């Protein structure tokens, strides 16, 4: 008996997306994820940076902030499956770097990067959306 292919369900597929996580390895600058999923349907991931950075002064991870968007897949209306690669971005901080400068730096990396995401920074808030290229 042949397997019946799944049918496209826009509510299900548009709710799929990347899990958004962040971590700080700086003593004084922090990052908090406020909305932890970036969906195909346009729900943005949002994080807020706070504090003035101590900064990176050696080759270790100390003085860095990282964000991660997970791998995911979703079905398109034509029943093809799109596999979206994950993305780990580690940002070394400069001493006395402001929270707004950190958010802006992440947005620049995302907007010029190879993955299907766009970002904006408003003050210390970072907003990431999924965009098909």
What does each of the 133 residues of the chain score in pLDDT, given as a tens digit?
A: 555 556 889 999 999 999 999 999 999 999 999 999 999 999 999 999 999 999 999 999 999 999 999 999 999 998 899 999 999 999 999 999 999 999 999 999 999 999 999 999 999 999 999 998 6
pTM: 0.93
Dihedral over Cα of 41, 88, 99, 37: its sign: positive
> Closest Cα partner for 34 from 21, 16, 50, 17?
21
């Amino acid at each position: 008996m042949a397997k019946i292919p799944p049918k496209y369900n826009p509510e299900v597929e548009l709710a799929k997306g990347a899990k958004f996580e962040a971590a700080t390895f700086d003593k004084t600058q922090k990052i908090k994820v406020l909305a932890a999923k970036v969906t195909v349907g346009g729900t943005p991931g949002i994080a807020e940076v706070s504090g003035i950075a101590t900064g990176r002064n050696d080759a270790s991870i100390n003085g860095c902030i990282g964000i991660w968007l997970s791998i995911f897949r979703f079905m398109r209306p034509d029943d093809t499956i799109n596999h979206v690669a994950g993305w780990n971005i580690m940002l070394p901080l400069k001493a006395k770097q402001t929270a707004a400068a950190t958010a802006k730096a992440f947005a620049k990396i995302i907007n010029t990067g190879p993955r299907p995401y766009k970002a904006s920074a408003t003050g210390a808030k970072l907003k990431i959306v999924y965009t098909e290229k």
